Chain A
Amino acid sequence: MLTDETKPSDFKKSQQTDYSHIKGWGIDADLENDPVYPMKKRSNEEHEGYAWERPQQQSEDVEILKSVERPNLTAVFGTASPPQGVNGAIRKLAFRYSESSYGRWLPLVLADRIGAVEGIIDDLKNGYLPNIFAERGWGAEWKYNKKNFLLKVAVAATVTAIAVSVLSSKKKNDD
């Protein structure tokens, strides 16, 4: 199986309720032995399965990617940044794997990086030139950490100068 894709009918709850055939079933059960107290007011409702009265379902007006580990969309969900572009295609692929799989998370990290590049392209397409200096908060670096700012600028300038020098000498040699 290449992916972990599921369909709603794949999700079932245990039907077993009679344990009389198991000798000693439950004789050492201790309600006080509850490491999640006080985080959890134990009622064991989850033993009933996915059976609670659900809130009204939000309508799906944009594409929402769903974990394969659940049968349905949650009653509410966020609608920010639906999947689109190359990064969206990668995300759709990633969501075919479970949350337990690297196949899920590593492609999502890749998609995030590609999404950042596509974001710049989209900005330019929309006639907006992103101010990388401001977006990275370098104004604050200049204000509060001038020495480091100047050091970074000096290192960047030196690396650029060396690269330009190497490339231009290589071009001369080729000529």
Chain B
Amino acid sequence: MNFRGPFRIRADRNMPEPQIEHPEDAIVRVLRSCICGSDLHLYHGLVPDTRVGTTFGHEFIGEVVEIGYSVQKLKVGDKVMVPFNIACGKCAFCKQELFGNCHESNSMATAVGGIFGYSHTAGGFQGGQAEYARVPYADVGPTVIPDWMDPDDAVLLTDVVPTGYQAAEMAGIQKGDTVVIFGAGPIGIMAAKSAWLFGAGRVIVIDHLEYRLDFVAKYAQCEAYNFNSIGDPVVFIKTQTDSLGADVCIDAVGCEAKGNLTNTILGTKLLLQGGSTTALHWAINAVKKGGIVSIVGVYGPTDALVPIGNVVNKGITIRANQAAVKRNLPKLIEHIKNGILDPKQIITHRVPLEEVADAYHIFSRKLDGCIKTVLIPPTN
């Protein structure tokens, strides 16, 4: 996969093959990779320093085909899921399990750790929407896929499931809480599913795409509402919570939120702020006083308009981070093993890697009922 500029990508057989560049590197033959909703921010040209010639893809699994001389925990032939975070395991942040905030994987920006295939703002690493990928710090992130696990579940454990789960975890959900999730994309769907595991009393998902709302209502057994048909979503949530507001709100949309023209123009058309903040705006205003807003939606690095005065006046706690995939993997693997989570159900499209341009277009334009796309490399 070769990015050529906003809305332009191509399958390119002439891309250079990855090499071992560091003794802790491994090279994997990619078995599956996904297109993430946040890849669309790159595709749409919203993330600064997204250079032509780069390969996207931070959700992938693969078979180890080569290891650097310092790698001890993996061997050639292992099939591994590769967390989207590139983490050294040695810095002060990794040692405290903040694997998304590693200080030794991104020279280009200090605000985010390295991420596979996610622009030079996230370290300039090539991603996994390819036949082969370089995986730095191979002893830290990659996790061997259990024999019993379906590869489709495994690939969703590299980002979607841990991010949705951490969204619910960061929300500090207590038994009986009303949880409102903005966004019925893959992350919002997994956040809704996870909210029940923390004891939510009511889970409400807000979006504007009917087919996704239908899916999440069934898959996560929750309420789902279209913001185009409920009037002001904040007023709607207040009417549903006896005027007090939701106990917690989760922003699972990020920088391309629809629903407010000003935000759309400033954030996604003119790029004068770090994205359209509509979902976050609604989350802050719909949560109760003293409530918690959990953010996993991705925003750009520049300023963004949010009602910060209301955050102060309502005493809201905002919790946010890139998911520390590795931290929650053991628990999530158990949940899949025990049948509590069944992530692969969200996959709607399996596309050959050679058709990556069409796959991006389908996902971007929300065509053909697309929720989650998996790319299958020709070598698989």
Closest Cβ of chain A to B83, distance in Å, is 15
User: Are B114's CB and A74's CB within 8 A?
Assistant: yes
What class of interface size applies to chain A in its complex with B? 35 or more
Q: What B residues does A144 contact at CB under 8 A?
A: 362, 365, 367-368
1/0 per residue, CB under 8 A from A, across B1-29: the answer is 00011111110000000000111110000
A76 interface residue, CB < 8 Å from B? yes
**List of B residues within 8 angstroms of A35 by Cβ:** 317, 319
Given A137-B358, A144-B368, A55-B90 contact (CB < 8 Å): yes
Known A40-B98, A134-B10: A67·B107 in contact at CB below 8 Å: yes
Q: Is B137 an interface residue when CB atoms closer than 8 A count as contact?
A: yes
Q: Check A9 for interface membership: any CB of B closer than 8 A.
A: no
**Is residue A20 within 8 Å, beta carbon to beta carbon, of the partner chain?**
no
Interface residues of A in 39-56 (CB under 8 A from B): 39-43, 45-46, 48, 50, 52-56
Given A67-B108, A137-B360, are A130 and B4 neighbors across the interface (CB < 8 Å)?
A: yes
Contact (Cβ within 8 A) A140 B49: no
Given contacts A52-B92, A55-B137, A135-B4, contact A81 B124 (CB under 8 A): yes
Q: Is the CB of B93 within 8 A of A46?
A: yes
The reply to whether B124 and A135 form a contact with Cβ atoms under 8 Å apart is: no
Q: Which of B5, B6, B90, B166 contacts A54 (CB 8 A)?
A: B90
Given the complex of chains A and B, what is the CA–CA distance between A56 and B136 in angstroms? 12
B125 CB-CB contact with A under 8 Å: yes
Are A134 and B49 interface neighbours, CB within 8 A? no
Please indicate the chain A residues that have their CB under 8 angstroms from the CB of B121 in the complex: 108
Supposing A56-B70, A130-B4 touch, asked if A78 and B123 sit within 8 A by C-beta, the answer is yes
Contact bitstring A70-113, B, C-beta under 8 A = 1, else 0:
10011111111100000100010001000100100110110111
Q: State whether A76 and B5 are in contact (beta carbons under 8 Å apart), knowing that A55-B137, A105-B301 are contacts in the complex.
A: no
The reply to whether A42 and B96 contact each other, CB–CB distance below 8 Å, is yes
Say yes or no for B271: interface residue by CB 8 A criterion: yes
A145 to B91, CA, bound (A): 49
A137 to B55, alpha carbons, bound, how many Å? 17
Residues of A within 8 A of B362 (CB): 137, 140, 144
A54: which B residues are within 8 A, CB to CB? 90-91, 104
CB atoms of A108 and B90 under 8 A apart:
no
**Does the CB pair B110–A81 fall under 8 Å?**
no
| A145 and B365 form a contact (CB under 8 A) | yes
Picked from B10, B53, B98, the residue with its CB within 8 Å of the CB of A80 is: B53
Taking the nearest CB of chain A, how far is it from the CB of B43, in angstroms? 10
A52 to B98 Cα, complex, angstroms: 15
Nearest B residue (CB) for A48: B92
Which of A115-123, A157-165, A166-174 lies on the face that meets chain B?
Answer: A115-123
Q: Contacts A75-B88, A113-B45, A115-B51: A80 and B126 contacting too (C-beta < 8 A)?
A: yes
Is there an interface contact between A55 and B48, defined as CB atoms closer than 8 Å? no
Query: Given the complex, which residues of B lie within 8 Å of A38, measured CB to CB?
Result: 169
Establish whether residues B88 and A135, one from each chain, have CB atoms under 8 Å apart when the complex forms.
Answer: no
List residues of chain A with CB within 8 A of the CB of B367. Answer: 140-141, 144-145
A119 touches B52 (CB 8 A): yes
Contact A116–B52 (Cβ < 8 Å): yes
Contact (A76, B361) CB under 8 Å given A40-B98, A102-B302, A105-B302: no
Q: Could you list 8 examples of A-B contacts with CB < 8 Å?
A: A39-B327, A67-B107, A77-B108, A108-B49, A113-B5, A132-B8, A140-B359, A140-B367
Which A positions have Cβ atoms within 8 angstroms of B?
35-36, 38-43, 45-46, 48, 50, 52-56, 58-59, 61, 64-67, 69-70, 73-81, 87, 91, 95, 99, 102, 105-106, 108-109, 111-113, 115-120, 123, 130-132, 134-141, 143-145
> Top 7 A-B pairs ranked by shortest CB distance?
A137-B361, A116-B5, A78-B124, A78-B125, A108-B48, A45-B92, A119-B52
Q: A-contacting residues of B (Cβ < 8 Å)?
A: 4-10, 21-25, 45, 48-55, 70, 86, 88, 90-93, 95-98, 103-111, 114, 120-121, 123-126, 136-137, 166, 169-170, 271, 300-302, 317, 319, 321, 324, 327, 357-362, 364-365, 367-368
